[in-house]
Structure 1
Amino acid sequence: MTPKKSLWDFISEVQLIVKPHSRHFHILCLIFLYPLSLFLLLSPTIYNLFDYFFIKNSLSLLSPQTINPTFLLCSLFLSFLSNCGIITIIYSVFHFSHGEPVNLSSTIKSIFPSFLPLLATSIVSQLIFFFISFFYGLFFILLIHGAKLFHLTLLPHSSPFIIGFLIVLPIIVVQTYLEVNWILASVIVVVESCWGMEPLRRSATLIKGMKGVALSCIFFYGFSGSIMILNLLYLTRAYDGFTESWFAAVLKWVLILTGSYTQAIIMLSKIAVTTVFYIYCKGNNVETAEEVGKEYVSLPFHDGGKVSQVV
């Protein structure tokens, strides 16, 4: 077995994989991840512009409550870009870590065999979480009505905020538990060419003994990305492109564009770390010891940042 590592070890290994091929990863980031983060940060501005042109200053038949079809189409397109970005980055990191040649053409081609399996696996995982939440909500409703039937008071003298928190807390715990166990699922779909429940089960098996690292990865990148997005959304929440001076508008656009790219880099780093984490967990798993004996086991870095493979 390979020695235990922390999240920072995986981040360091990712940097040593990405740095020699920075141009390749920057291109993938610009093509697939940058539009996603840019649209997310510009969504308040786009909504304000849509409201200005199509609701306030036109005789559009759309009511203010109508769902903007442009947003729906953009969301579908950005979901497509997101899955493509996940596939291409996983493919690139996995093959670069093995010292195999990868170019932009082969990376783009890797999307075709993995896109539908990744989409299906995502749908399966979301359905599982939906049904867990649904049955939990149904149970809670039955509990409340049962308490009323027997004239019982649940959580007496508690504020609505505390009650709401206690209702949401189990959902958060369950979601976090599932994310920890399924953190490697997307990598397994791309690398092992499987889909549906199989990547979820396989991820839960490989992650045993390393759930602390998985949890820290989710919290670290979730916190970093949330702070970046919330700050920039606060900056753009009231921006409509008409009511500010040109200097304020230019400054905000500079911050939006640079912030969006920073957010895209955070997303790239998380996908790459998850890929390296999968390689480590696979090499560290007892059930696959014989199989991994012929493959890549760990990613120790020596000799000025070069990858030295252990077989």
Structure 2
Amino acid sequence: METPPPAPSLSRTGVISVSKRIVKDNYFHFIDLSFLFQPLAIAILITPVLRLSGHHHKSPIHHLLCILTSYILSLSAIAAVTFSTHNAMQGKPIKLFTSIKTLTTSFFPILWTAIVIHLLQFFISLAFLVLVGSIVAVPQNLGLGFVILDHENPTEFTWWLHAVIGGTLLVILVFFQANWSLAYPVVVAESKRGLAALIRSTYLVTGSRLVSLSLLSYYGVSGFLLVLFYTDVELVNGSFDLRNWPTFFTTFAGTCCLMMYMLMSTVGNTVLYMHCKALHEVDEQFAKIVTVASNSSTIMIPSATSRPPANPLSTTGILSESNRVLKVNYGHFYTLSLFFLPISFSIFTNPNLRLSGELLSGELFTGDHLHSFLHKPPLFHLLTLYILSLSAIATVTFTAFHGFSGKPIKLTTAIKSLKSSFFPLVSTSILIHILLIFISITFLVLIKSIVVLLQNLGLGFVMEYENSIYLATGFALIVINICFYLNWSLAFAIAVTESKWGFEALVRSSRLVKGMRSVSLYLLLYFVSYGGLVVFVCTDASGSRRSPFVFPVIFGSLFLMMMLLVSVVANTVLYVRCRGLRGELGIEVGEKRVCFKLDSDDEKVSHVVTVGAGA
């Protein structure tokens, strides 16, 4: 077999184009990994503002811990994103757990390589400054009166001299960074570390050093301008307070942009590594992975038809199928989502449901406030919200489940299904609430018994609201409830579609979700995070004098309504996938038994009738 000719040089535009394509094909996967960049992005964004505005009063130890945490999470993000990009370009399926697990083998090599790079940059800078100092010392020793730095009488010449020295040092460091830019992909893909990774990177980047410099300048300058713009905006406002919703929104938007810059730069670096590897070591494997069009100088990665489709059992696959189901019957689903509107609206307008500030301040636990709180909510109001929400879950689940067959479901049919599914759903919901309350009480009694035992032993253990043990106990209780909820996450879908209720539905859910709990957890975190963020922003905005009350409430209510709709559809899709995983794809629809699937290439839901009525 003839060896294909070396690929021509790649341009910065080509690298960015391929990077965008890879991220777009695995959008949710890379977005999840990008959250590891969040601490560093926040630190880079707000630290200049805090220092310039005089709000930075943290202790050195606290500051050091923040730096170490951001540094470790950023290196973890680089390792995971590099691994995912490398596998995606090879056409391999990528999973979030697999990318995270690679940290067990790649984190310490990447950490050691990063430390070596920092040490080399430090010694290069030190050697350069010593050299400059030696050169400047010559005219001083000759009595020429040459002074490089005079704090008392600075001149224009000394300022320009410092600018030239600083610019020269920056150019030298950027040049070395361009040579070592592929070190992290080398560590992840080839298991090399330290100086070996730097030497390998220098060899691979030969011939593409200008592309590396261009990428480094592109993302570096863009990020610097973003931080500069944010700092200027906040300093002009005069007060930096994240409790002020315009400041919070600006910080949130800037952090997201900076996170995306870091994500895209890491993906682009890995794409450049794959190209350079193909350029220097053209063989059958990498010639198929990376082919450069001679005219456009753009990497052509395998097309969607040649690569395996997205894993339907992943979080991305579940959300993708949910969007397709919604798109086919969007009018039907949007009508049913109106059942969610009352509870969505109440979350923003009812003071009794907006307890976040009271919980954080501790005012909720005072005797008078607790007594008034327990007597404020009208029972009829709560029952109405509860009934409408369960009705929405029942009708949306019924429609999404039967919509897989491709048969249009009438709105009246979905409403009529409440006669057979509402009471099983209510009984299952009440049972879940009772069990969660019982589990919480049991856990708190156990913790209280342990505290009393420690106090009786004379250890002087005191558990107060301000105590960190109190917060740890609350966090542990939340984790325990989430674990049980994950086992019961399919109970509502089972109550609607299989007419099982109570303990039978919970046991059935625990069996079906086995092996898919991670997907259920990611779906829960996904919807809770985005929904909670919208509630926080819109609730704070509605209380601000800078914006009319009605607009944040309307926007937040509609958005939360859609989030609840999509979450129920996604839960139904997960239920169907869990049944399919266990060979239960046959569903009774009318008088026929059908098998259904979602065609990943089509925009509509397709179905195939496999067994007739007489089967």
Work out the CA distance in 2 between the residues paired with 1:137 and 1:34.
Answer: 34
Q: 1:241 to 1:192 in 2, by over 3 A?
A: same
Shift of 1:169: 2.8
1:46-71 Cα deviation digits (max 9, x unpaired): 665564xx8xxxxxxxxxxxx53222
Q: Do the aligned partners of 1:37 and 1:264 also contact (CA within 8 Å) in 2?
A: yes
The answer to whether the 8 Å contact 1:7/1:216 transfers is yes
| Runs of 4+ residues deviating >4 angstroms | 44-50, 153-158, 290-295, 305-308
The number of residues matched between the two structures is 286
Range 94-103 or range 140-149, more displaced: 140-149
In the other structure, the counterpart of 1:163 is 161
Question: Are 2:99 and 1:107 aligned?
Answer: yes
What's the CA shift for 1:143?
2.2
1:70 is matched with which residue? 62
2:265 corresponds to 1:256: no
Matches of 2:83 and 2:200, distance apart in 1: 18
3-state SS of 2:161 partner: helix
Map of 2:74 onto structure 1: 82
2:289 is the alignment partner of 1:296: yes
Residues 136 and 46 (structure 1), Cα distance of their counterparts in 2 relative to 1, 3 Å cut? closer
Superposed displacement of residue 263, structure 1: 0.9
SS of match in other structure, 1:2: coil
Measured in 2, the distance between the counterparts of 1:12 and 1:133 equals 35
Shift of the 35–161 alpha-carbon distance from structure 1 to 2, 3 Å rule, reads same
**Paired position in structure 2 for 1:95:** 87
- Kept in 1, the 8 Å contact 2:7–2:278? The answer is yes
**Residue type at the aligned position of 1:162:** W
Contact 1:282 1:292 in 2 (8 A): no
- Residue by residue over 1:24-81, the C-alpha shift from the partner in whole angstroms, topping out at 9 and shown as x without a partner, is 1111112x01232123323357665564xx8xxxxxxxxxxxx532221111101011
Residue 161 of structure 1 and its aligned partner are, at CA, apart by 1.3
CA contact (8 A) 1:91 1:190 kept: yes
Q: Does 1:27 align with 2:19?
A: no
1:141-186 Cα shifts (integer Å, max 9, x gaps): 2222222222346699961111112322321121011011111111
| Contact 1:300-1:307 at 8 Å conserved across structures | no
Contact 1:44 1:233 in 2 (8 A): yes
Instruction: Give the partner amino acid of 1:289.
Output: V
8 A Cα contact 2:29 2:96, kept in partner? yes
Runs of at least 5 residues in structure 2 that lack an aligned partner in the other structure: 1-5, 149-154, 292-298, 308-615
Q: Is the 1:88–1:111 Cα contact (8 Å) retained in structure 2?
A: yes
Q: Is the 8 A contact 1:42 1:236 kept in 2?
A: no
CA distance in 2, matches of 1:97, 1:204: 22
Letter of the 1:241 counterpart: D
Q: Sequence identity, in percent?
A: 26
Check if 1:220 corresponds to 2:218. yes
Among candidates 10, 18, 26, match of residue 13 of structure 1: 18
Mapped contact 2:89–2:301 kept (Cα < 8 A): no
Instruction: Note the residue ranges of structure 1 that are not aligned, 5 or more in a row.
Output: 55-66
- Give the conservation status (yes or no) of the 8 Å contact 1:133–1:171: yes
Candidates 203, 206, 210, aligned match of 1:205:
203
Contact between 2:290 and 2:300, CA under 8 Å: does it hold in 1?
Answer: no
Q: In the alignment, which of 105, 115, 133 is matched to residue 141 of structure 1?
A: 133
* Secondary structure of the structure 1 residue equivalent to 2:207: coil
**What's the TM-score once normalised by structure 1's chain length?**
0.83
Tell me how far 1:260 sits from its aligned partner.
0.6
SS of the residue corresponding to residue 246 of structure 2 reads helix
1:260-299 map, 5 Å: 260-285=255-280, 288-290=281-283, 296-298=289-291, 299=299
Conserved? CA contact 2:15–2:268, under 8 Å: yes
Corresponding residue number in structure 2 for 1:125? 117
Equivalence for 2:241: 241
Larger Rg: 2
The DSSP-based 3-state class of the residue aligned with 1:199 is helix
- Which secondary structure does the structure 1 equivalent of 2:77 belong to? helix
Contact 2:85–2:270 (8 Å) recurs in 1: yes
| CA distance in structure 2 between the aligned counterparts of 1:70 and 1:182, rounded to whole angstroms | 32
Residues 1:20 and 1:166: Cα distance change in structure 2 (over 3 Å): closer
Selected match of 2:171 from 156, 161, 173? 173
User: Contact 1:44–1:239 at 8 Å: present in 2 too?
Assistant: no
Moved more, 253-262 or 127-136: 127-136
CA distance in 1 between counterparts of 2:9 and 2:178 reads 17
> How far 1:252 sits from its partner (Å)?
1.5
Change beyond 3 A, Cα 1:209–1:192: same
Amino acid at match of 2:88: F
Q: Deviations over 1:261-304 (max 9, x none)?
A: 1110111000000001100000001xx2358568734441475x
Note closer, same or farther for the CA distance 1:164–1:295 as it changes in structure 2 (3 Å cut): same
> Which residue is 1:61 aligned to?
none
Report if the CA contact (8 A) 1:38-1:260 is conserved.
Answer: yes
Secondary structure at the aligned position of 1:289 is classed as coil
Structure 2 distance, partners of 1:169, 1:45, is 24
The equivalent of 2:435 in structure 1 is: none
Superposed CA deviations along residues 190-241 of structure 1, whole A, max 9, x for unmatched, are 1111111011111111111111111110110011111111111223345343
Aligned with residue 38 of structure 1, among 42, 65, 82? 42
